[in-house]
């Protein structure tokens, strides 16, 4: 703009605010999910070792690490966008971002990138903590990065939708407990879907989170339950649909501008 | 020059509720304008439409010529709004909240003005305190500061002094008056009508989503009430003056509402003819609150 102000600054400030919001309470938003993932690793790694069919030549605990890291990435990306928006709506301080001249695209992008950032920080934390306990190969680092970013972006966009739609904590909790948790737990985090009966294998292929976990895991082991390219297409399509939905909600002002 | 605020036939409907029923008004740059009305009159809805928080069902609204919907960036750059609710972001200190708000408006390196706003609103010793730790009055000051952080030419204050102490009220009005002298347009809604009377050059009164009065404050005071005479008498009030009684106080004083000052002489004549002595007498101007009550009763 020609009056000494900058659109980029507005967008960047909103992103930075969202970054600060979770970073200031990083014990709760970063450290706690890393610890939870490590507990899963400890308990499931010990309890299910040798009982679950996984990839040839891959130790079960090692197999578990990318899935747990990705699950943490996805859950935290979703939580960041959804809880920030819902809390701002509940406390009324959403008005501070509705009054400035921010477009719906800037609004969307800032919340999305903050969600991706938290997802990746937590995911990196889980991986960093896990490598002290397991020898983790990284066959295709680019795939790891691509699925880490794409998965957290999908869940960030879903978090924006959930945060805008939810008026109360229990609505958001329902979103988390009845959609996010089942999708992530039934996505092959703890097992390869090859070990499932045919019906559940088919059902797993209808779960977009399965493709995020599977593609991410391919980046580490060079092996997966399905092609990483197919996973990328499905994750990309999920991202496109959810992004269009959240942009439409923001543009129309659904539950934000009356 | 474009009006600071231009509202043309704006309506807003929430289901079966008609919150605004065709509001039109214009506020000129540099004005100190009052928007008055009982709860539910539509003041906050109108402000929300100007701020882009609510979308009008029909009609047009512009800030300094910028349509609030089609040119929302221009409109929002030109407008600073102090919301009615005491809201804050619990994650940040006062200075962080102001710096972030400034950034939303695309401003970097705005520290000098932020410092000035902090100083003028007596927030200097709280600048690095988390918002959660502030009292209600202090939070209200921060809300005002957040609205001013991008130096908007048009400032809307939606009941900014609700529930705040006298000290803040006076500090706030000193600062707002200074901004008004510097050329900022101020629009104020308040339930403290003495504030509106003292500050606003022009006033619009709303009732049930309609403007029922819109004029200069002195014209409203002059046109609608005449004057009051407060009397303490040595005897009974003559019967012919009974229709003029506005109030009988417990201490015996009687307040008469008169349509104009010429009527004072007729009251005195009636008292003389009845042989009633006047012990004390005071002629009073009506205040905006009385005008407001009259207008709301008639509308």
Of A17, A21, A95, the CB nearest to B87: A95
Most confident range (mean pLDDT) of B35-44, B93-102, B158-167 is B93-102
| Other Cβ atoms within 10 Å of B167 Cβ, number | 10
* pLDDT recorded at residue A7: 61
Q: Is B105 on the interface with A (CB under 8 A)?
A: yes
Most confident range (mean pLDDT) of B43-52, B217-226, B282-291 is B43-52
| Other Cβ atoms within 10 Å of B76 Cβ, number | 25
Q: Is B101 close to A5, i.e. CB distance below 8 A?
A: no
Q: What is the mean pLDDT of residues B94-123?
A: 92
Share of chain B above pLDDT 70, in %: 99
> What is the band of A1 on the pLDDT scale with cuts at 50, 70, 90?
very low
* pLDDT recorded at residue A199: 87
Residue A21: its chain B contacts at CB < 8 A?
91
Q: What is the mean pLDDT of residues B94-121?
A: 92
Which of A227, A219, A204, A195 is closest to A73 using CA atoms?
A219
For chain B, give the mean pLDDT. Answer: 89
Length of chain B in residues, anyone? 299
Angle among Cα A17, A23, A25 to the nearest 5 degrees reads 115
Which of B39, B71, B146, B54 is closest to B102 using CA atoms?
B146
| B17-55: b (≥16 Cβ within 10 Å) or e | ebbbbebebebeebbbbbbbbeeebbbbbbbbbbbbbbe
| Other Cβ atoms within 10 Å of A232 Cβ, number | 18
**B279: Cβ–Cβ under 8 A, 6 or more apart, which residues?**
B232, B233, B234
Beta-bridged to residue B6, according to DSSP, are B26, B62
Q: Is A93 close to B101, i.e. CB distance below 8 A?
A: no
| Other Cβ atoms within 10 Å of B176 Cβ, number | 22
Where exactly are the structural domains of chain A? 7-252
**How are beta strands B254-258 and B66-67 bridged, if at all?**
unpaired
pLDDT digits (tens, 9 = 90+) for A31-70: 999 999 999 998 888 777 766 667 777 788 899 999 999 9
| Other Cβ atoms within 10 Å of A199 Cβ, number | 8
Smallest CA–CA distance from A101 into chain B, residue: B73
Q: What is the ipTM of this complex?
A: 0.86
The CA distance from B273 to A195, in Å, is 112
A-B contacts at Cβ under 8 angstroms:
94
Range from A63-67, B29-33, B105-109, B256-260 carrying the lowest mean pLDDT: B256-260
Share of chain B above pLDDT 90, in %: 54
pLDDT digits (tens, 9 = 90+) for A2-24: 455 566 788 999 999 999 999 99
Residue A91: its chain B contacts at CB < 8 A?
87-90
Asked if pLDDT for residue A27 goes beyond 60, the answer is yes
Asked if pLDDT for residue B261 goes beyond 90, the answer is no
* pLDDT recorded at residue B224: 63
**A164: Cβ–Cβ under 8 A, 6 or more apart, which residues?**
A85, A89, A246, A249, A250, A254, A255, A256
* pLDDT recorded at residue A50: 67
Length of chain A in residues, anyone? 258
C-beta of residue A196 within 8 angstroms of C-beta of residue A204: yes
* pLDDT recorded at residue A130: 92
- Distance in Å, alpha carbon of A92 to nearest chain B alpha carbon: 6
Which of B99, B95, B12 is closest to B54 using CA atoms?
B12
Angle between helices B166-181 and B111-120 (to 10 degrees): 130
The more confidently predicted of residues B220 and B174 is B174
Smallest CA–CA distance from A21 into chain B, residue: B91
**Helices within chain B (DSSP H only):** 43-51, 72-78, 94-104, 111-120, 136-148, 166-181, 193-199, 217-225, 262-274, 288-298
Burial of residue B170 (number of CB atoms within 10 Å: 0-12, 13-18, 19+): exposed
The sheet with strand B210-216 has its strands ordered as B79-82, B154-158, B185-189, B32-36, B202-207, B210-216
Query: Which pair of tokens denotes residue B216?
Result: 């200069």
pLDDT digits (tens, 9 = 90+) for A167-191: 888 999 998 999 988 898 888 888 8
* pLDDT recorded at residue A242: 97
Which domains are seen in chain B, by residue range?
Answer: 5-221 (3.40.50.300), 226-286 (3.30.70)
pLDDT digits (tens, 9 = 90+) for A75-125: 999 999 999 999 999 999 999 999 999 999 999 999 999 999 999 999 999
The CA distance from B23 to B206, in Å, is 9
C-beta of residue B153 within 8 angstroms of C-beta of residue B4: yes
**How are beta strands B154-158 and B185-189 bridged, if at all?**
parallel
pLDDT digits (tens, 9 = 90+) for B30-63: 999 999 888 888 999 999 999 999 999 999 999 9
* pLDDT recorded at residue B263: 86
The CA distance from B95 to A49, in Å, is 53
* pLDDT recorded at residue A74: 95
Most confident range (mean pLDDT) of A48-57, A144-153, B108-117 is A144-153
Q: What is the mean pLDDT of residues B24-32?
A: 95
> Cα dist. B136→A88, B140, B142 in Å?
19, 6, 10
Q: In the 3-class helix/strand/coil scheme, how is A25-51 assigned residue by residue?
A: CHHHHHHHHHHHHHHHHHHHHHHHCCC
The CA distance from A209 to A213, in Å, is 6
Q: Which of residues 39-78 of B touch A (CB under 8 A)?
A: 48, 51-55, 72-77
DSSP label at B93? B
Q: Is B72 close to A257, i.e. CB distance below 8 A?
A: no
């Amino acid at each position: 703009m020609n009056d000494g102000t900058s659109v980029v600054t507005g967008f960047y400030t909103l992103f930075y605010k969202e970054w600060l919001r979770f970073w200031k309470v990083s014990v709760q938003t970063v450290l706690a999910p890393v610890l939870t993932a490590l507990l899963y690793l400890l308990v499931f790694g010990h309890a299910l070792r040798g009982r679950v069919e996984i990839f040839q030549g891959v130790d079960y605990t090692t197999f578990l690490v990318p899935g747990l890291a990705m699950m943490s990435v996805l859950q935290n990306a979703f939580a960041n966008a959804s809880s920030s928006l819902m809390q701002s709506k509940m406390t009324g301080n959403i008005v501070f971002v509705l009054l400035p001249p921010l477009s719906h695209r800037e609004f969307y992008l800032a919340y999305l990138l903050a969600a991706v950032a938290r997802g990746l920080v937590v995911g990196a934390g889980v991986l960093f903590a896990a490598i002290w306990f397991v020898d983790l190969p990284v066959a295709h680092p680019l795939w790891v990065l691509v699925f880490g970013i794409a998965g957290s972006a999908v869940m960030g966009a879903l978090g924006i939708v959930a945060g805008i739609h939810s008026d109360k904590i229990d609505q958001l909790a329902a979103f988390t407990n009845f959609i996010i948790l089942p999708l992530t737990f039934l996505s092959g985090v703890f097992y390869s879907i090859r070990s499932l009966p045919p019906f559940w294998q088919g059902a797993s292929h209808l779960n977009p989170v399965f493709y995020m976990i599977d593609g991410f895991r391919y980046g580490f082991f060079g092996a997966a339950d399905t092609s990483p390219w197919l996973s990328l297409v499905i994750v990309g399509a999920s991202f496109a649909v959810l992004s269009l939905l959240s942009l439409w909600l923001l543009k129309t002002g659904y539950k934000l501008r009356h | 020059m474009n009006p600071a605020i231009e509202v043309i036939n704006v309506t807003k409907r929430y289901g079966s509720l008609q919150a605004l029923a065709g509001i039109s008004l214009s506020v000129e740059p540099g004005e100190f304008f009052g928007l008055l009305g009982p709860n539910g009159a539509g003041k906050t809805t109108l402000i929300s439409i100007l701020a882009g928080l609510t979308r009008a069902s029909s009609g047009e609204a512009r800030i300094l010529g910028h349509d609030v919907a089609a040119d929302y960036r221009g409109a929002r750059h030109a407008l600073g709004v102090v919301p009615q609710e005491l809201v804050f972001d619990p994650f940040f200190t006062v200075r962080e909240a102001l710096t972030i708000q400034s950034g939303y408006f695309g401003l970097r390196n705005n520290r000098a003005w932020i410092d000035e706003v902090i100083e003028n609103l007596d927030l200097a010793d709280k600048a690095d305190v988390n918002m959660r730790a502030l009292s209600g009055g202090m939070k209200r000051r921060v809300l005002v500061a957040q609205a001013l952080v991008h130096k908007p030419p048009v400032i809307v204050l939606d009941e900014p002094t609700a529930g705040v102490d006298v000290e803040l009220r006076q500090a706030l009005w000193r600062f707002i008056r200074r901004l008004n002298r510097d050329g900022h347009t101020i629009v104020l809604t308040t339930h403290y009508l003495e504030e509106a009377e003292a500050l606003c050059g022009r006033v619009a009164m709303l009732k049930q989503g309609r403007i029922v009065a819109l004029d200069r404050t002195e014209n409203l005071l002059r046109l609608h009430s005449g004057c009051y005479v407060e009397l303490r008498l040595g005897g009974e009030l003559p019967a012919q003056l009974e229709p003029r009684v506005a109030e009988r106080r417990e201490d015996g004083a009687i307040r008469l509402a008169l349509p104009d000052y010429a009527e004072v002489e007729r009251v005195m004549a009636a008292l003389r003819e009845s042989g009633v002595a006047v012990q004390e007498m005071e002629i009073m101007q009506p205040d905006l609150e009385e005008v407001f009550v009259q207008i709301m009763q008639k509308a």
